[in-house]
Structure 1
Amino acid sequence: MATKRAPKRAYLDDYLKFGFTSIVIEGIEKPQCVICLKVLSAESMKPFELKRHFEKEHSTYNDRNVSFFQRQSQSVKKSRLDTTGQTAITIRAEVEASYVVSTIGEELVLPCTKDIVCIMIGADVVKKLSSLSISDNNVQRRIQEMSEDIKNQVVEQIKQSPIFVLQLDEPTDVSSCAQLMIYVRYIHDSNFKEEFLFCRPLDSQTRGIDVFNKVDTFFCKRRSRLEKSWAVCTDGAPSMLGSHSGFQTRVRQFVPDVITNHCMIDREALAAKTLLASLNVILQEVFKIVNFVKSSAVNTRLFRNLCLDMDAAHMNLLYHTEVR
């Protein structure tokens, strides 16, 4: 005979007098203490369970009134990094506002302009304004044209500069696709300028020749000369530093005197390489533990179950990214 599941208990505002608010983890509502921030299991959403935790762990707060716990609860919710935190709420509001103002030209600005012109100048001019199209598709095309124009301006300034410097980064996105990002620094009007040049996916391989072809194709299409490159900044990957087919070697075939530097985009990871021996031992132990868990599907599932049993906020580990 199948056993009946215990009904899920919902959070009640009265639980706040025991110092507990609620938090939703993977769709399950659980009680969270506003003092020690500990998250109890969903089965603990009972008055006597919450009261027992409060009296055992926080008996010194017995004389506090409900308003104190309300302030604590608001502080906890604001500090959360999930979708209920203040940061997530602000981001959602910003995204929603960006969608609202995207139609403001068509729905508000143009009608207001027509009313003003009709009163101040006359109805004949309003007919001319009616031919002005600011629909969402037209605005999208204008933005794309403006983006292309900005890129063309940067390329023209690079052509006029006597020299320029390139910095390459090859991060991998969430879909495991390598993205080649290029930054450029050059001279314009006797001042140094730094701009983001382009981002292109490396669809197949990430060899030095593949990286070089992306860069060379970009400059060739815009009739610019890679020979004006004075320095190149890359990381220490073999595809960049290879003595036979690395990107830097390919560039030297066009610019023999080019200066090469190590990229400092991931400077935090580079700084970790020079940690004190006492700190580095701890860091290496953490790497070993993470690799042990992530190296096996069984270990990963066991670790996830352990996190679930402990009501941990996070269930997965991330690999350490080695910077070369």
Structure 2
Amino acid sequence: MYAEPRLIYTIVLHVRSASKKKCQYSVEYIKYGFIPSPTNKQLPMCLLCGITLSNEAMKPSRLSEHLSKKDSDKARAEVSYFQSLKEKFEKSSTVTTMFKASQELMDTGLEASYKLSLLIARSGKPYSIGKQLIKPAVGEVIKTVMGQDPNPVLSSIALSNDSMARRIDEISSDVEDKLCSELRSTHFAIQLDESTLCDSEALLLCDVRFIRDQEMVEEMLFARSLQTDTKGSSIFQTLEMYFPDQNIPMENILACATDGAPAMVGRQRGFIALLKNQVPSVFAIHCVVHRQHLAAKALSTRLHTSLQTVIKAVNKIKVSSLHDRLFRQLCQENDEAFEWLLLHTEVRWLSKGTYFNSSNIEMLMVVFYVAVITPGPIFECIFRRRIGTVVTLLAQTHVCA
């Protein structure tokens, strides 16, 4: 059987086109005003008219003919003229380069937005500071120091309230995912503490401590609101719901530190008892900071009485604006180093050792002022020197309130 003539002709043309070599660009073609096309290096492009010719036209005779037809005067131009046209063309902005520069500016602006969001989150400032202060400040720096128009840069950085909140949520979610991925494959210890905020919201805080690269690392795992009560069962339920959601095995918990509250250490329904039912090998320990708090409660009767007397004396000055101003004037007249007093409240972050440190407040001036406005048994503490003993003891141990 014989093949059809048309098929044979098609095959022959295909073989010829495949075997035919394509012409390559030579640097000598610049004297004809041609450079390689930016989209295809195997095609010549004319610098005068911008037309791109076929690969078959990449021959000196064809290029010279094209140059003579377009502009006969430029056919006798020197190579330096075409070199200048080439440099001008390479520096000119094309659609591709414009889009590329715009995309790079948007990418760097997005990165700057994330970094600024992280700084705002760490500082604890409101999200509105990004648009109200940081963005105008960056614009002034760019305009004053660099002498450039700040609008292109500022338009690529999103610092609105919603953008800040979204960036911070994404960053915190990413940090939490990385931490949970480590906890899935390593043993760790947890520390739990329940606190009530100023708006009566109960907040459960959980910190973890584990070994990373042969170093002890401490990170905050989560902060969850307790919707109803603060019993041990509610605290354990919050922890029990969080760990399976993050695929963290409860068996990885080696130890648990608490503040010693009944809801935590109760034998039957306390958090530790419920945790040991599920993880029998867990080791429970009392928090070191709260141990100092217990030590402060175990003061002798005489020292405790003196301590409470001084607390009442300082608070009597601070609760009244008149007494506060008069006490400040008294300290100024006696050239005291400090004039301000701390209002004592039963909170963990105010140390009694700092509160009664003789280098921070002049206890003798406090006692003298209160003795003048309310004469009473406070002089008994002075003569027995109990106050000095209490100040020295608390300042050395840094006992928390």
Q: Give the structure-1-normalised TM-score.
A: 0.51
Among 311, 316, 320, the alignment partner of 2:322 is: 311
Provide closer, same or farther for how the CA distance between residues 160 and 109 of structure 1 changes in structure 2, counting only shifts above 3 A.
Answer: farther
Q: Who is 1:246 aligned against?
A: 270
Structure 1 position 200, deviation (Å): 1.4
For residue 279 of structure 1, what is the amino acid of its counterpart?
A: L
- Distance of 1:131 and 1:100 partners within structure 2: 13
Report 1:1-324 matches (<5 A): 99=129, 104-105=134-135, 108=138, 112=142, 132=156, 134-136=158-160, 137-161=162-186, 163-266=187-290, 268-283=292-307, 311-313=322-324, 320=346
- Distance of 2:250 and 2:127 partners within structure 1: 43
Provide closer, same or farther for how the CA distance between residues 102 and 140 of structure 1 changes in structure 2, counting only shifts above 3 A.
Answer: farther
- Describe the SS at the equivalent of 1:312: helix
Structure 1 position 133, deviation (Å): 5.1
- Distance of 1:187 and 1:207 partners within structure 2: 31
Provide closer, same or farther for how the CA distance between residues 138 and 153 of structure 1 changes in structure 2, counting only shifts above 3 A.
Answer: same
For residue 323 of structure 2, what is the amino acid of its counterpart?
A: A
Structure 1 position 248, deviation (Å): 0.3
Provide closer, same or farther for how the CA distance between residues 251 and 110 of structure 1 changes in structure 2, counting only shifts above 3 A.
Answer: farther
- Distance of 2:271 and 2:178 partners within structure 1: 26
- Describe the SS at the equivalent of 2:272: helix
- Distance of 1:107 and 1:284 partners within structure 2: 50
Highest relative contact order (Cα 8 Å, sep 6+), 1 or 2?
Answer: 1
CA deviations on 1:198-217 (whole Å, 9 max, x unpaired) are 11122211111100011111
- Distance of 1:243 and 1:209 partners within structure 2: 12
Larger radius of gyration: 2
CA deviations on 1:171-191 (whole Å, 9 max, x unpaired) are 221123221111110122222
Provide closer, same or farther for how the CA distance between residues 268 and 311 of structure 1 changes in structure 2, counting only shifts above 3 A.
Answer: farther
- Distance of 1:241 and 1:313 partners within structure 2: 43
Give the conservation status (yes or no) of the 8 Å contact 2:130–2:159.
no
Provide closer, same or farther for how the CA distance between residues 312 and 111 of structure 1 changes in structure 2, counting only shifts above 3 A.
Answer: closer
Structure 1 position 244, deviation (Å): 1.2
Provide closer, same or farther for how the CA distance between residues 200 and 153 of structure 1 changes in structure 2, counting only shifts above 3 A.
Answer: same
For residue 252 of structure 1, what is the amino acid of its counterpart?
A: K
Structure 1 position 112, deviation (Å): 4.7
- Describe the SS at the equivalent of 1:223: coil
Unaligned runs of 5+ in 2: 1-123, 326-342, 349-399
- Describe the SS at the equivalent of 1:134: coil
CA deviations on 1:90-126 (whole Å, 9 max, x unpaired) are xxxx96999268754587369959xx8x99xxxxxx9
- Distance of 1:321 and 1:141 partners within structure 2: 33
- Describe the SS at the equivalent of 2:299: coil
Provide closer, same or farther for how the CA distance between residues 160 and 174 of structure 1 changes in structure 2, counting only shifts above 3 A.
Answer: same
- Distance of 2:279 and 2:210 partners within structure 1: 17
Unaligned runs of 5+ in 1: 1-93, 120-125, 291-302
- Distance of 1:157 and 1:278 partners within structure 2: 51
- Describe the SS at the equivalent of 1:168: strand
Q: Give the structure-2-normalised TM-score.
A: 0.42
Q: CA-atom RMSD, angstroms? A: 4.4
- Distance of 1:259 and 1:109 partners within structure 2: 56
- Describe the SS at the equivalent of 1:256: coil
Give the conservation status (yes or no) of the 8 Å contact 1:151–1:197.
yes
- Distance of 1:166 and 1:195 partners within structure 2: 10
Q: Who is 1:34 aligned against?
A: none
